[in-house]
Structure 1
Amino acid sequence: MEDGSCADARLTANFDWMCTLAIYFRATRDCPVVIAANRDEFLERPAGDPTTLLENPHVVGGKDFKAGGTWLGISEHGIVAGLLNRRAEDGGNPRARSRGLLCLDALRRRTAHEAAEFASRERGSDYNPFNLLMVSRTEAFVAYNRGASIEVVEIKPGLHLLSNLDLNDFECPKISASYGKLAELGNREDFQRDPIGQRAALGALLADHNTQLDPRSGRPNALCLHLENYGTRSSSLIFMRDDTADIAHYFAPGPPCETAYAPAIVPRRTANAES
């Protein structure tokens, strides 16, 4: 996930590597939202650990210092939004509005449905291609911008994976290689009973270096990626409980294969979260 503005839009268009976001939506007993995400990015692009991004509503998330947006954020209303770049076949528009700012705009809304409606009204041509996840405890949507227009699709309960293609598109080697492992973990009794207690197992899956060649490019493609100037920069685990406004947030400020997760900032007023 990245902000993807200015010259980086053209650079990332030439790469088939991408971030990966897994969501268990209403798939466990007490946590209707479990998110596990790796952010892949150019190593030189400056970014900060989760922090306060907005005060009203209170929104926390990672900050892209280059364009000011976020790739993954949580709001006091109990909304999580995650931004993943799609490939721009024409190389991208360096003058397009930052996609990370759109992610931040979605987090200003009170419900996931309002965020989805907002995204659907934006002009696709104002941005380079993206996938935007918007989820609460009761609703989940993904907005696809393939270049000309923005399509919003509702997400049904279950395990879903998102990269730089459509949701659960097994053409992506990361999805085809990891979906079964994530599904197996999600079906385990200990995960169903206490997903937060199994965060080490979830983080271990995100640290997978199993590399397949992407048939679209012939390039390596792994969940945890290490290349000379590009790779997995950070990893996030988010758990939203069902019967309270509690949100558990863990962040690894480096690749999860070598960086420990630690508790991260959460919104202050989650008591006002969407129910």
Structure 2
Amino acid sequence: MCILFIAIEQHPKYPLIICANRDEFHQRPTQAMHVWQQSKILAGKDLQAGGTWLGLSSKGKFAALTNFRKFPLNEEAKKSRGGLVLQALASTENNLSEELAQQASQYHGFNLIHGSLNQLYCYDSVNNQCHELSKGVHSICNGALDDIWPKMARGEKLLSDTIHLQENLSIDALFDLMTNDKQALPNLLPETGLTEEWEQLLSAIFIVSPTYGTRTTSIITQDIEGSVEVYDRSYAPSGQCVAKQKFRL
């Protein structure tokens, strides 16, 4: 997962709105979002390492992960971070953040958003900090929670505008937000250890290139009655949508 925008108590009918893009190399084998029969979670599956980037459990838990890029980049082989999402979804402990802190050195840097849909937290392994997500609009990308990267600021504003200008929430408008491919000006690019060419490519909310790009968009809404709907779209390397799914929990 590369970027999430989360709106908490910003819409009169939908107290929770989550918009998430997963960016990955196109050659990495993936199974689209589905119900995992053994663990009873709704998630896509990384067929290379067996984990996932975002999921919901039958008990109302949510978890999603973003990689944390920090200079200098560490190329040492470590565990796949996708297993952390499964751990969070299966956890019944209140001290998950303590467990994550103890395990963090086994993984490259990550942000893990986890909790119930009514109370979400973000654990940052690089700074070893856990924050409860407060009322408002949040962005989580490849740095710390609510960093002011251009794509994060752009997405927060677009989400706020979409919510406040529409009495009835438009799912298509949320997908339009998440497929915004505008790149940042060169002087505004973050410095995360990548080449300027890669920083430029990754500066868009929606990334399109032959080798690496946005593979899926997931939109999750919870209404005031507690009903949850999940919309998921998959993309080809060209950026064209090749599959659409909808789930109701």
Shorter-chain TM-score bucket reads 0.7 to 0.9
Say yes or no: does 1:251 pair with 2:223.
Answer: no
The answer on 1:45 being equivalent to 2:28 is yes
Give the aligned CA root-mean-square deviation in angstroms. Answer: 2.3
CA shift, 1:260, in A, is: 6.8
The answer as to 2:31 corresponding to 1:26 is no
> Cα 1:189–1:119, aligned 2, differ >3 Å: closer, same or farther?
farther
The structure with the greater share of residues assigned to strand is 2
**1: CA distance between counterparts of 2:130 and 2:42?**
24
2:62/2:117 contact within 8 Å kept: no
1:155 is matched with: 133
2:123 alignment partner, one of 132, 138, 143: 143
The corresponding residue for 1:114 is 94
Please report how far the alpha carbon of residue 163 of structure 1 lies from its aligned counterpart in structure 2 after TM superposition. 0.4
1:132 corresponds to: 112
Structure 2: runs of 5+ lacking an equivalent: none
Alpha-carbon distance in structure 2 between the residues aligned to 1:257 and 1:229: 12
Provide the C-alpha distance between the structure 2 equivalents of 1:150 and 1:215, rounded to a whole number of angstroms.
21
Structure 1 residues 124-175: Cα deviation after superposition (integer angstroms, max 9, x where no partner): 10111001111423211001011xx7321111011101100111111x2211
Q: State the AA in 1 paired with 2:41.
A: V
Q: CA deviation at 1:93?
A: 2.7
Question: Deviation per CA, 1:70-99, whole angstroms, max 9, x where unpaired?
Answer: 0010111211111100115342431x2221
SS of the equivalent of 1:83 reads strand
Look up the SS of the partner of 1:103 in the other structure.
helix
Counterpart-to-counterpart distance in 2, 1:264 and 1:189: 22
- Once the 2 structures are TM-superposed, how far is the Cα of residue 179 of structure 1 from its aligned partner? 2.1
Contact preservation (8 Å) 1:34, 1:238: yes
- Count of aligned positions: 237
Contact 1:109 1:115 in 2 (8 A): no
Paired letter, 2:173: A
> In the superposition, relative to structure 1, how do residues 265 and 179 fare at CA in structure 2: closer, same or farther (>3 Å)?
closer
Where does structure 1 lack aligned partners over 5 or more consecutive residues? 2-18, 271-275
Q: Which residue of 1 aligns with 2:83?
A: 101
Counterpart Cα distance in 2 of 1:187 and 1:63:
34
Q: Does residue 166 of structure 1 match 2:149?
A: no
Aligned to 1:35: 18
* Residue 116 (structure 1) shift: 4.2
Is the deviation greater in 117-126 or in 152-161? 117-126
- Give the distance between the partners of 2:3 and 2:85, measured in 1 at CA: 16
Structure 2: distance between partners of 1:164 and 1:98: 16
**CA 1:248 to 1:203, structure 2 compared with 1: closer, same or farther past 3 Å?**
same
User: 153, 163, 182: which is aligned to 1:176?
Assistant: 153
CA contact (8 A) 1:116 1:143 kept: no
Query: Could you tell me how far 1:233 is from its partner in structure 2?
Result: 0.9
Q: TM-score, normalised by structure 2?
A: 0.86
